[in-house]
Amino acid sequence: MAEPVLEIANLAVAIKGSGDRPHAVRGINLTVGANEIVCVVGESGSGKSVTAQAVMGLLPKNAMEVETGSMRLQGEELTAKSDADLRALRGTRMAMVFQEPMTALNPVERVGDQIGEVLEVHTDLDPAARRERVLEMMRAVHLPDPEQMIDAYPHQLSGGQRQRIMIAAALVLDPALLIADEPTTALDVTTQAQILKLVKEMQGRKKTGVLFITHDFGVVSEIADRVVVMQMGRIVEQGPCEEVLRNPREDYTRMLLAAVPSMTPPRRSPVSGPIVLQTDKLFKTYGKRSLFQPKARIVHAVSDVSLTVRRGETLGIVGESGSGKSTVARCVARLVEATSGAIRIDDVDIASMKEAKFRPMRRRVQFIFQDPYRSLNPRRTVGEAIIEGPMNFGLPRKEALQRARDLMAVVHLSPDAIDRYPHQFSGGQRQRICIARALAMEPELLIGDEPVSALDVSVQDQVLKLLDEVRRKFDLAVLFITHDLRVAAQVCDRIAVMQRGVIVEQGTTSEVFAAPRHEYTRALFDAAPGRNREFFVDKAPEAALPH
Amino acid sequence: MADVILDTPIAAAPVKPNAARNLVRNPGIVFGGAVIAIVVLMGLLAPWLGTIDPTAINPIARNKVPGAEFFQRTDTGERIKMIALFGTDGLGRDVYSRVVYGARVSLLVGVSVALISVACGLFIGVLAGFFRIFDAIIMRIMDGLMAIPAILLAIAMVSLFRSSVLTVIIAITVPQIPGVVRLVRSIVLSVREEPYVEAAVTLGTSTPKLLWRHVLPNTFAPIIVQGTFICASAILIEAILSFLGIGVPPEVPTWGNIMAEGRQVFSLFPHNIIYPGVFLAMTILSVNVLGDGLRDTLDPKMAKRV
């Protein structure tokens, strides 16, 4: 191989002040060759983003600094460079694409100008030539109708289009190195597939070296030439993609791979318990035309959704963002009011019940939220969070506390931890607490709105196992909202696929996965990263995982 | 399955920063707090600080410069020799005594305006932010209130009612309320969307409990900060009203009306204006410095932005 585009040797980045560890990353050795995609995988806090920021010279100045080691961009040492020199390199020879294209783009500047800014700073092209180059680049990233879109503002574009703009801006000067920090994490799965394809195509065009940061092994298998696995600021393992994914040498890699849910749903026997939840022609629309706003926009978030969940059964609602899957869940939990239709819990229609009348029934329907960091009040102890519900329903404090302790054990946390505050727990632990809080109400229906999508893959695996365990133990009906087909395959008995507020397909998990009928379902499956790959390695590390 | 697992160990000790210690570390809070404490003590202990009746007129001792000696007749008829620390005014009243007693009115007005406007603002703001049906109505009323200048309202109220401290407090409070309402409303609007508030709803928590436990605590820090700024501006507005002669009745000494009375003879006897002016400026400065310090400690996001 010729000279690598990026060569990092023994890099250590120190965290200033007191952190949970003295170094954000330590002993990092990695290279990115020309025309090569290197994926850095790791869970949150593994130091993968810090590595990227160190290369770009974008480390937060008052929090971190490069302590030792060298970083060479095409043989040129970066660590000794001044801010001005680094600035000259950024955009010209190395460029970065960020996770969230909406916040990475300036909302009040036209997208064409934002791509053109790179040219304006680094070249002496005149405005007409710049515009020509921007248009050329927008065509290269397959944006429709570039002549129109060049004058659009970011909010007028879709998420995928915005990310294309970001990629165009990053690559407009043909840098040797492109760093992509979770560029598809904020995107829907079908969009993600397109962006991954684009990254690969753009990389092949000019033989760019790509450092691609991700937490998703599906994405890795789609795109990587080589893989670097990081844990707690160190590189655990690196090697060619196939080798690492097929024959991981390290236990940690094996554990991560084993935690990736399989796309093949396990065999499940149909559930025939009594129906707990039934929705009938549920509609939810936002916006209303009135005398004063005759042209108000009306959004049909949910249209004509009819579904049932039996006791002991998990119904998954799968769909992309904006498909209305969360809205269905929120209607059922009465966090928003349905516009029309019936929601029957044990044959009682709750859709249009008055809140005061419905409150006694709240006990039966419990909700688990996506973000474990925001679903617990930071000012109240975990115990207070768990006993709040039972005490609302008249359970004396002492008994409620005893129940809280018992439930902490059920979710595999120490019962003594009920006196602690949420910030003392990790994300996975908090999600366990949220499950305990829901269980304290002795519900019949448990609604999980993406309950594992904010969690790392190994933690996600544990929380899913816990959810399955409590479902069995308490014979719960579960409504499980997710965008992740792998998760759905593993936890759901039946699946409803939603698109633009409508259920396009409904059936048992094995049926839907074996033979999707609707074209949208097929598109979803096609877009799932690494769909043809099983990451299941062997049983050995499984034993190390808690059940 | 009874074994207890923890995916990562639970943090050993609370990493919650010690709020009390942080407050003491902030120089603004220490300085502001100290000066305000001195002014408060001065107001409370006024009769024992070597003062005489601040309203006692003494025609013989008019317009004495600071440090001059004069004789004061007491209730029992004795004549005692006194030193006029801050001089005397055009009616022979002791400026030092007037300034010390004047602190009472300033502080009373400042603190009551802050407390009343925060209490009203909190209540109305929560109503507007949490209950959608009240929102539009309340906010339009608040917009209306905001359009009323404090000083004009005071003039109107004093001409309608008798001028008194209460009138002044109400006149200053009313225009301050909309600011607090807007602040509280914006906090409530964002907090009510937090998943932990929604979680409490699904747990069947009644609305008053929900507000008390999960919503209101989020407003305390910004409200305390806002309260100090209201206090400072209330003291200032009271002084302005008294200076204009539309505040508290003229026989009650306040920093504002001491200055107003010294205005005509300012070029000859500047002490009538300088001393109350210095006290007024120091008090407002330290209340504001205290407020800044509280904002920096209680609301770290704001501190970083600055």
Q: Which helix (H) or strand (E) holds A68?
A: strand A64-73
When pLDDT is averaged across residues A265-274 and rounded to a whole number, the result is 84
Measure the CA angle with vertex A351, ends A350 and A353; round to 5°. Answer: 60
Give helix B95-130 / helix B255-262 axis angle, nearest 10°: 130
Residues A119 and B163: their CA atoms lie apart, in Å, by 69
* Lowest-confidence region among A314-318, A331-335, A512-516, B62-66: B62-66
By CB atoms closer than 10 A (0-12, 13-18, 19+), residue A542 is middle
pLDDT band, very low/low/confident/very high, at B296 (cuts 50, 70, 90): confident
**Above pLDDT 90, what percent of chain B?**
29
Q: Which of A334, A350, A358, A388 to mutate to test the interface with B (most CBs of B within 10 A)?
A: A388
Residue of B3, B5, B7 for testing the chain A interface, max A β-carbons within 10 Å:
B7
Nearest CA-CA partner of B290 in B25, B111, B32, B19: B32
Which residues on A lie below 8 Å from B3 (Cβ)? 412, 546
pLDDT digits 0-9 by tens, A169-223: 998 998 999 999 988 888 888 888 888 989 888 888 888 999 999 988 888 988 8
Average pLDDT score over residue span A341-361: 87
Which A-chain residues 421-440 have CB contacts (< 8 A) with chain B? Answer: 421, 423-426, 428-429, 434, 437
Q: Which chain A residue has its CA at the smallest distance from B10's CA?
A: A425
Q: What are phi and psi of B181, to 5 degrees?
A: -60, -45
Q: Which chain A residues have a beta carbon less than 8 Å from that of B191?
A: none
Inform me whether the pLDDT recorded for B108 exceeds 50: yes
Among B3, B16, B202, select the one facing A366 at the smallest CB separation.
B202
Q: CB distance B199–A375 less than 8 Å?
A: yes
pLDDT for the residue numbered A440: 92
Mean pLDDT of chain B: 83
- Determine the pLDDT at residue A18: 64
Distance of CA B75 to the CA centre of its chain: 36
> How far from the centroid of its chain's Cα atoms is residue A457's Cα?
10
Q: Which of A374, A412, A458 sits opposite B194 (nearest CB)?
A: A374
Task: Convert B172-199 to b/e letters by CB count within 10 Å (16 or more is b).
Answer: bbbbbbbbbbbbbbebbeebbebbbbbb
pLDDT band at B6 (very low <50, low <70, confident <90, very high): very low
A367 touches chain B (CB under 8 A): yes
Would you call A388 and B206 a contact, using CB atoms and an 8 Å cutoff? no
By the CB < 8 Å criterion, does A308 face chain B? no
| B-chain residues near A425 (CB < 8 A) | 10-11
Tell me which chain A residue has its CA closest to the CA of residue B5: A412
Percent of chain A at pLDDT exceeding 90: 29
Q: Quick check: helix, strand or coil at residue B113? A: helix
* Residues of chain A found within 8 Å of residue B4, distances taken between Cβ atoms: 409, 412-414
Quick one: pLDDT at residue B13? 42
- pLDDT reported for residue A540: 42
Quote the ipTM score: 0.80
Helices (H), A260-396: 325-332, 355-358, 382-392
Q: Residue A215 phi/psi, 5° resolution?
A: -115, 0
Residues in chain B with CB shorter than 8 Å from the CB of A473 are none
pLDDT in tens, B183-209: 999 999 999 889 999 999 999 888 999
CA A255/CA A544 separation, integer angstroms: 8
**How close does chain A come to B304, measured CA to CA in Å?**
12
pLDDT average, residue stretch A4-14? 90
Nearest-CA residue of chain A relative to B15?
A: A424
